[in-house]
């Protein structure tokens, strides 16, 4: 079947033990306690190596707390300890380690409750025998440790285990280490086996007890009470016949949990307690308590004392203290003395299990789970106590009714009096339960503060005061911190409910709980008539702050039990301390909720805090609380709750008389999202107070921001030249810039949306225009735009009425200066208050203006169009102001090399000395529509020759003026536009001389397009300022090129005027001639004849650069006598086998043996000047290839018969694979004997060979062979 949880835990532990190849893991992690082999067998347990774990004795003995050796001092017997020296910081001898054993034999019954018991008192004497071993030869440290063991374990027997090796063996000897590790390994295996044996026996016992659960559950489901009879003076039940011992079941289950805890398995130990909780839930324990109380009442009526044994056990501590302290030893004794069904301790078992589970959770490192378990325990205990009180009241009331009914003489007044007395007693008990729950929750919260960082450290301010940082609203940075804060917040909320309920019970029905009254649906102050602001100011002047604060110090006469904590007693001394306790609890809950990320819960509690403060008359504190909490509902868009908080904040501020804060709250109340939920009457009352407030002189000093009761939006109505965006890093936003020019009439539209219920009349509306540079400087310094920062303020004069809803207003501006401006701020002046709507703070685009200088209307004229080289000419400059206002300027005449100018009005006698390269002439101011004429002389030298087209003589005229827009005077007369610098412009004109050729060669090139033909292309650039005609042209080329008869390709192409800057393209076909072998030093020349409109002609001689083609022709002549031939190797097949012949053919082309020069002369090539044409010898070789050649691989070729010859032969591949190297062919001339009888030298022939890309050679697929003996003489 499936494994139980115990078997799974055992398998887990065994897996961990089996993973270690050395037993040192056990020695380093545990203090090992064991029982030696005896008649009852051996049982082993372990405890943690630190001081936090316990140890076990016998079959079921264990410790639940204390740790270390403390459990053994309680008198348990039959134990021993083995401690490894290196893990206990004790310096021992090299030859020994301390060990203790016992001669005690421990036996365990399968139905034992888990507490070890001794079978014989004689074992004490055996344990006290003198230990064997060389104690006299041991070191001082070993002797001290030995006596320590004897003192801590007086009932055991202590011995010293020595090594089997010689004394001279080193401590670090591998043999000694191996011996020690083998000992620990065997001991660790014994521990795991003992643990497994114990878990199995516990599991068997629990399986046996599990079979009786059904009967036990039926017992508490109602069937048990049917079998209960009351006869005589004794109460008889059928428990004896049930056969199920709940006490024994609990002890066995907990002993199993102890076993897991000792083996460092706190999770498995906690699982046992969870199974106990599931087996016996809260209701079952409560029913056991009720049965115990009934039994005690019946026993007390008979005069019997059934709890004498338990009273003796718990004489020192109460059972509740034992349970909450987790004292397992005393509590288990208490369980044994309580009976089989745990009735005597059933109300303490949940407390004990809670303390044990909390301890295990700390061992598991789960502090948040500790808080969760604590919260669950407190809630369950609280409910259980209340149910017990209700059940006790019901039983007592039933008995009282029966008693009164039996007398038949009691009147209804006595019945009501008895009921009232019993009811008061019940309420007192319930109050004590509420006090217990309240103080318990606060204790858990205070304890958690020592483990978790719930509150930030307080910052010490000047003067020694510490700043309270509990208003921080950020959540905890870690998940664990948030979970812990969530648990503590839920506990504090539970504590607040208990405090309020405790107050109800303490005050009774005659008085009203002040916290409930303050946090009711309709607070008391809202039931009074609304007093206008002016009347309220008069009342406030006549009343001091002490009188306005309510006196809640009336003492409460509450009789609390002595068990109630002192701070709870303090809280209920009077109404004031009660409210202060509530405020303190609520403040802590608010902060913890925020740390848990529960901001809505915190906001709700803040509202309650504010209402309590209002009821106490502390309006300033209430306003502080509400002001920090008013935006929570706005973020969640809970409009009704948001408006209610604003309303309550306004109530506090108007009573306290805080004018500035009240004005801000009133403006926030007219939020557009709140207009749909705001009551009309409340909105009207708020506007009345708002209109009264703005007449107060106190509101004039602050700079009020953009409040939502008025919403503004700026836009540009005028048409602009364009739109662009510019990022503003200091604002992390973009500026939308509209492009305009100086003098443009601009109109801005301002839309104001009013959320007030009635119309208002404002004093004025102003728009601040700020330059971008000033705007950045302002926001980098303080972020507030003032009048001093504005370049221009556009305003709308009063009276201005703003109606509810949308309103539209317009501004106009005609700029007279160029810059980048920002529509920075809109100011609305309403009586004494001014509201500033800064564009940087609004969630709307930032609008700007990029104003550029207006387009100048000025012009200049410079005559003549060009200058004649070598002459002095008059130059005339005419300046027209157009519609601009010229404030001043200067004319600069700049001459290039070869030109000079004189200032105007220069005396003729000083003319030669006045020539200069540059001349500056001042320009006077003039009105729009004026003309200024400047005349001077320019001298030009003769034109310089050259081919550089950029080398031009020119005179540049630059006119730089300062001007204003034509509307400048009319705009400035209004006195609104600030003075600004004039705009500037630069006008240029140029006149050139004909110092460059009329036609300049832009480029010339030639290329061979046939065997002996060349194409020449020439491109010319026209530089004449006046159009000319091309009349004729001629190209002269040096040898060996000549223009063909029909080689001029430009006839009839230039029958129109050629303007300045146009390109002329000429093309000529030329023939290569070999008439002269000597190179010529002449350069190619293109002659072009130009003709103007009057028929005058100009000859242009243009040298051409054709050096590249001439170099190429000379190189071809040098290589003309070289002899070349081409050969192509053709293979009939593409693959074959190694050793098989492959046919090849070499196709020779001997036509190229004739040189190009000879072909042009229609003559054959000859090696010598005389004699017949030589014979060609060919040879096919296979060296350097993977072939063997055969056939006619050498022979003569008669080149006179044919120029194309085919030579067949065969090749045999010598290896397999892809062959890329093939046989080569060599060609050479045979020597020729001349007429004189001598042999002429023959030139070498270069063969250009083309071979196949590759040949695939296959290996032999089979072969025949004959085996022959090495020594033939044997046959």
Q: How far apart are CA 1067 and CA 1053, in angstroms?
A: 11
Q: How far apart are CA 1214 and CA 1184, in angstroms?
A: 12
Q: Is 10 exposed, middle or buried (0-12, 13-18, 19+ CB in 10 A)?
A: buried
Q: Is a pLDDT exceeding 90 seen at residue 554?
A: no
The answer to whether the beta carbons of residues 795 and 766 sit under 8 Å apart is yes
Higher pLDDT, 708 or 143: 708
Across 445-449, 456-460, 758-762, 872-876, the highest mean pLDDT is recorded for: 758-762
Q: How far apart are CA 332 and CA 322, in angstroms?
A: 10
Across 185-189, 311-315, 503-507, 582-586, the highest mean pLDDT is recorded for: 582-586
Query: Among residues 51, 94, 17, which one has the least CA distance to residue 9?
Result: 17
Q: How far apart are CA 824 and CA 837, in angstroms?
A: 9
- Give me the pLDDT at residue 396, please: 82
Query: Over the stretch 207-258, which tens digit does the pLDDT of each residue have?
Result: 888 777 666 656 555 544 444 433 334 434 444 445 677 788 888 888 899 9
Long-range contacts of 225-233 (CB under 8 A, 24+ apart): 230/298, 233/302
The DSSP code sequence of 380-407 is HHHHHHHHHHHHHHHHHHHHHHHHHHHH
- Give me the pLDDT at residue 227, please: 45
Q: Is a pLDDT exceeding 90 seen at residue 985?
A: yes
- Give me the pLDDT at residue 808, please: 93
Mean pLDDT for 264-279 is 86
Q: Is a pLDDT exceeding 80 seen at residue 29?
A: no
Long-range contacts of 917-921 (CB under 8 A, 24+ apart): 918/892, 918/893, 918/894, 919/892, 919/893, 920/890, 920/891, 920/892, 920/893, 921/890, 921/891, 921/892, 921/893
Q: Is a pLDDT exceeding 50 seen at residue 74?
A: no
- Give me the pLDDT at residue 243, please: 60
The answer to whether the beta carbons of residues 1002 and 1021 sit under 8 Å apart is yes
Q: Which residues pair with 739 in a beta bridge?
A: 722, 850
Dihedral sign computed on CA atoms, order 436, 438, 441, 444:
negative
Burial profile 464-475: b = 16 or more Cβ within 10 angstroms, e = fewer: eeeeeebeeeeb
1030, two tokens? 């091309």
- Three-class SS string for 889-940? EEEEEEECCCEEECCCCCCHHHHHHHCECEEEEEECCECCCCEEEEEEEEEE
- Give me the pLDDT at residue 585, please: 92
The answer to whether the beta carbons of residues 2 and 184 sit under 8 Å apart is no
Burial profile 274-307: b = 16 or more Cβ within 10 angstroms, e = fewer: eebbebbeeebbbbbbbbbbebbeebeeeeeebb
Query: Among residues 173, 16, 185, which one has the least CA distance to residue 95?
Result: 173
Query: Over the stretch 488-542, which tens digit does the pLDDT of each residue have?
Result: 999 999 999 999 998 888 887 778 888 888 888 888 888 888 888 888 888 877 7
Least confident span in 175-184, 555-564, 763-772, 1030-1039: 555-564
Q: How far apart are CA 380 and CA 387, in angstroms?
A: 10
- Give me the pLDDT at residue 235, please: 39
Q: Is a pLDDT exceeding 60 seen at residue 87?
A: no
Mean pLDDT for 81-87 is 34
Mean pLDDT for 755-772 is 93
The answer to whether the beta carbons of residues 252 and 210 sit under 8 Å apart is no
Query: Among residues 1006, 1161, 1009, which one has the least CA distance to residue 1074?
Result: 1161
For all residues of the chain together, what is the average pLDDT? 76
- Give me the pLDDT at residue 116, please: 38
Query: Over the stretch 931-977, which tens digit does the pLDDT of each residue have?
Result: 999 999 888 876 554 445 456 788 899 999 999 999 998 888 888 88
Q: Is a pLDDT exceeding 90 seen at residue 984?
A: yes
Q: Is 326 helix (H, G, I), strand (E, B) or coil?
A: coil
Across 48-57, 790-799, 1090-1099, the highest mean pLDDT is recorded for: 790-799
Mean pLDDT for 913-928 is 91
Q: Is 1201 helix (H, G, I), strand (E, B) or coil?
A: coil
Residue labelled with tokens 């901001």: 599
286, two tokens? 């409560």
- Give me the pLDDT at residue 1235, please: 66
**Cβ-based neighbour number of residue 869 at 10 Å:** 16
Q: Is a pLDDT exceeding 60 seen at residue 1187?
A: yes
The answer to whether the beta carbons of residues 628 and 492 sit under 8 Å apart is no
Q: What phi, psi does 122 have (nearest 5°)?
A: -70, -20
Q: Is a pLDDT exceeding 80 seen at residue 1166?
A: no
**Cβ-based neighbour number of residue 14 at 10 Å:** 15
Dihedral of CA atoms 1006, 1007, 1008, 1014 in degrees, nearest 10, equals: -20
The sheet with strand 1135-1137 has its strands ordered as: 1135-1137, 1255-1258, 1217-1219
Q: What is the largest CA-CA distance in the chain?
A: 184
1066, two tokens? 């000429």
Percentage of the chain beyond pLDDT 90 is 20
867, two tokens? 């200058």
**Cβ-based neighbour number of residue 697 at 10 Å:** 8
- Give me the pLDDT at residue 298, please: 53
Query: Over the stretch 351-373, which tens digit does the pLDDT of each residue have?
Result: 888 888 889 999 888 889 999 98
Q: Is 1272 helix (H, G, I), strand (E, B) or coil?
A: helix
Bond prior to 1163 in cis (omega within 30° of 0): no
């Amino acid at each position: 079947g499936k494994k139980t949880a115990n078997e799974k835990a055992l398998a887990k532990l065994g897996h961990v033990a089996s993973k270690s190849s050395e037993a040192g893991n056990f020695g380093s992690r545990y203090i090992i306690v064991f029982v030696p082999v005896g008649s009852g067998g051996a049982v082993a347990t372990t405890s943690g190596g630190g001081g936090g774990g316990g140890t076990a004795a016998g079959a079921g003995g264990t410790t639940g707390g204390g740790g270390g050796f403390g459990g053994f001092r309680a008198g348990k017997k039959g134990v021993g300890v083995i401690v490894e020296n290196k893990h206990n910081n004790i310096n021992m001898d090299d030859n020994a380690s301390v060990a203790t054993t016992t001669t005690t034999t421990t036996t365990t019954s399968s139905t034992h409750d888990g507490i070890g018991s001794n079978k014989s008192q004689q074992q004490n004497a055996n344990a006290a025998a003198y230990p064997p071993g060389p104690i006299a030869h041991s070191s001082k440290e070993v002797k001290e440790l030995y006596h320590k063991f004897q003192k801590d374990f007086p009932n055991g027997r202590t011995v010293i285990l020595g090594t089997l090796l010689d004394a001279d063996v080193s401590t670090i000897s591998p043999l000694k280490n191996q011996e020690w590790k083998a000992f620990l390994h065997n001991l660790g295996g014994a521990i795991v086996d003992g643990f497994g044996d114990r878990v199995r026996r516990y599991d068997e016992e629990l399986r046996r007890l599990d079979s009786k659960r059904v009967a036990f559950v039926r017992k508490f489901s109602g069937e048990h009470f049917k079998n209960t009879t009351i006869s005589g003076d004794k109460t008889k039940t059928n428990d004896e016949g049930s056969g199920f011992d709940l006490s024994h079941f609990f002890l066995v289950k907990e002993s199993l949990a102890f076993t897991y805890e000792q083996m460092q398995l706190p999770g498995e130990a906690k699982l046992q307690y969870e199974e106990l909780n599931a087996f016996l839930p809260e209701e079952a324990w409560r029913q056991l308590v009720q049965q115990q109380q009934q039994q005690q009442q019946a026993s007390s009526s008979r005069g019997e004392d059934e709890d004498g044994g338990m009273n003796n056990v718990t004489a020192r501590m109460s059972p509740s203290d034992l349970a909450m302290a987790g004292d397992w030893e005393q509590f288990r004794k208490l369980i044994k003395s309580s009976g089989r069904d745990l009735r005597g301790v059933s109300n303490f078992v949940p407390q004990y299990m809670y303390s044990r589970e909390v301890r295990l959770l700390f061992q598991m490192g789960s502090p948040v789970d500790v808080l969760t378990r604590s919260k669950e325990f407190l809630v369950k205990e609280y409910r259980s106590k209340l149910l017990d009180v209700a059940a006790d009241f019901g039983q007592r009331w039933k008995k009282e009714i029966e008693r009164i009914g039996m007398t038949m003489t009691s009147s209804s007044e006595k019945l009501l009096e008895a009921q009232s007395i019993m009811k008061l007693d019940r309420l007192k008990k319930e109050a004590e339960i509420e006090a217990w729950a309240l103080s318990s929750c606060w204790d858990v919260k205070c304890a958690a503060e020592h483990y978790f960082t719930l509150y930030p450290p307080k910052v010490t301010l000047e003067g020694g005061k510490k700043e309270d940082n509990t208003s921080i609203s950020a959540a905890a940075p870690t998940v664990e911190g948030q979970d812990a804060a969530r648990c503590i917040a839920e506990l504090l909320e539970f504590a607040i409910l208990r405090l309020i309920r405790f107050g109800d019970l303490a005050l009774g029905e005659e008085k009203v709980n002040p916290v409930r009254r303050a946090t009711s649906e309709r607070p008391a102050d809202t039931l009074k008539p609304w007093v206008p602001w002016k009347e309220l100011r008069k009342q406030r002047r006549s009343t001091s702050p002490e009188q306005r604060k309510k006196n809640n110090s009336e003492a409460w006469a509450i009789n609390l039990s002595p068990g109630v904590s002192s701070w709870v007693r303090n809280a209920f001394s009077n109404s004031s301390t009660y409210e202060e306790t509530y405020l303190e609890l609520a403040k802590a809950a608010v902060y913890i909720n925020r740390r848990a990320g529960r901001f809505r819960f915190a906001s709700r509690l803040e509202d309650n805090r504010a209402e309590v403060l209002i009821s106490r008359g502390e309006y300033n504190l209430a306003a502080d609380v509400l002001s920090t909490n008013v935006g929570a509902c706005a973020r969640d868009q809970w409009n009704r709750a948001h408006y209610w908080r604003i309303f309550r904040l306004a109530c506090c501020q108007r009573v306290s008389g805080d004018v500035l804060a009240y004005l801000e709250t009133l403006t926030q109340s007219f939020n557009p999202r709140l207009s749909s939920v705001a009551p009309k009457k409340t909105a009207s009352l708020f506007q009345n107070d708002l209109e009264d407030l703005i007449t107060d002189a106190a509101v004039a000093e602050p700079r009020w921001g953009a409040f939502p009761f008025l919403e503004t939006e700026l836009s540009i109505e005028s048409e602009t030249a364009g739109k662009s965006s510019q990022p503003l890093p200091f604002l992390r936003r973009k500026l939308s810039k509209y492009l305009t020019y100086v003098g443009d009439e601009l109109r801005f539209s301002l839309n104001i949306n009013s959320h007030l219920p009635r119309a208002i009349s404002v004093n004025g509306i102003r728009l601040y225009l700020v330059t971008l540079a000033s705007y950045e400087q302002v926001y980098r310094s303080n972020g507030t735009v003032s009048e001093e920062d504005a370049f221009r303020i556009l305003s709308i004069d009063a009276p201005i009425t703003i109606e509810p809803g949308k309103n539209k207003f317009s501004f106009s501006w005609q700029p007279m200066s160029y810059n980048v401006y920002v529509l920075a701020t809109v100011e609305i002046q309403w009586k004494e208050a001014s509201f500033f709507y800064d564009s940087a703070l609004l969630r709307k685009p930032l609008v700007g203006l990029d104003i550029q200088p207006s387009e100048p209307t000025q012009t200049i004229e410079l005559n003549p169009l060009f200058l004649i080289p070598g002459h002095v000419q008059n130059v005339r400059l005419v300046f027209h102001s157009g519609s601009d206002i010229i404030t001043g300027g200067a004319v600069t005449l700049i001459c290039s090399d070869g030109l000079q100018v004189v200032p105007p009005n220069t005396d003729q006698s000083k003319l030669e000395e006045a020539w200069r390269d540059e001349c500056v002439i001042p320009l006077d101011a003039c009105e729009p529509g004026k003309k200024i004429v400047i005349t001077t002389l320019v001298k030009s030298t003769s034109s310089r020759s050259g081919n550089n087209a950029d080398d031009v003589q020119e005179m540049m005229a630059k006119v730089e003026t300062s001007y204003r827009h034509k509307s400048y005077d009319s705009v400035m007369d209004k006195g609104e536009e600030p003075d600004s610098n004039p705009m500037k412009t630069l006008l240029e004109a140029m006149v050139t001389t004909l110092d460059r050729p009329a036609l300049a060669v832009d480029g010339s090139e030639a290329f061979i397009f046939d065997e002996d033909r060349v194409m020449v292309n020439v491109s010319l650039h026209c530089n004449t300022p006046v159009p000319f005609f091309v009349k004729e042209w001629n190209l002269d080329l040096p040898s060996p090129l000549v223009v063909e008869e029909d080689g001029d390709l430009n006839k009839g192409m230039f029958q129109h005027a050629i303007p300045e800057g146009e390109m002329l393209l000429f093309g000529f076909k030329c023939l290569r001639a070999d008439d002269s072998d000597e190179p010529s030093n002449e350069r190619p020349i293109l002659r072009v004849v130009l003709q103007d409109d009057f028929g005058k002609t100009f000859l242009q001689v243009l040298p051409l650069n054709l050096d590249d083609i001439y170099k190429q022709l000379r190189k071809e002549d040098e290589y003309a006598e070289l002899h070349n031939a081409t050969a192509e190797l053709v293979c009939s097949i593409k693959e074959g086998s190694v050793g098989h012949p492959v046919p090849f053919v070499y196709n020779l082309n001997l036509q190229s043996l004739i040189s190009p020069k000879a072909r042009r002369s229609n003559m054959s090539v000859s090696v010598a000047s005389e004699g017949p044409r030589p014979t060609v010898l060919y040879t096919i070789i296979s060296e350097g290839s993977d072939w063997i050649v055969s056939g006619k691989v050498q022979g003569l070729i008669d080149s006179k018969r044919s120029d194309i010859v085919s030579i067949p032969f065969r090749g045999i591949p010598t290896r397999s694979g892809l062959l890329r190297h093939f046989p080569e062919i060599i060609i050479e001339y045979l020597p020729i004997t001349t007429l004189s009888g001598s042999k002429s030298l023959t030139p070498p022939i270069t063969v250009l060979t083309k071979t196949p890309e590759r040949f695939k050679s296959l290996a032999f697929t089979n072969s025949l062979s004959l085996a022959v003996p090495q020594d033939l003489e044997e046959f």
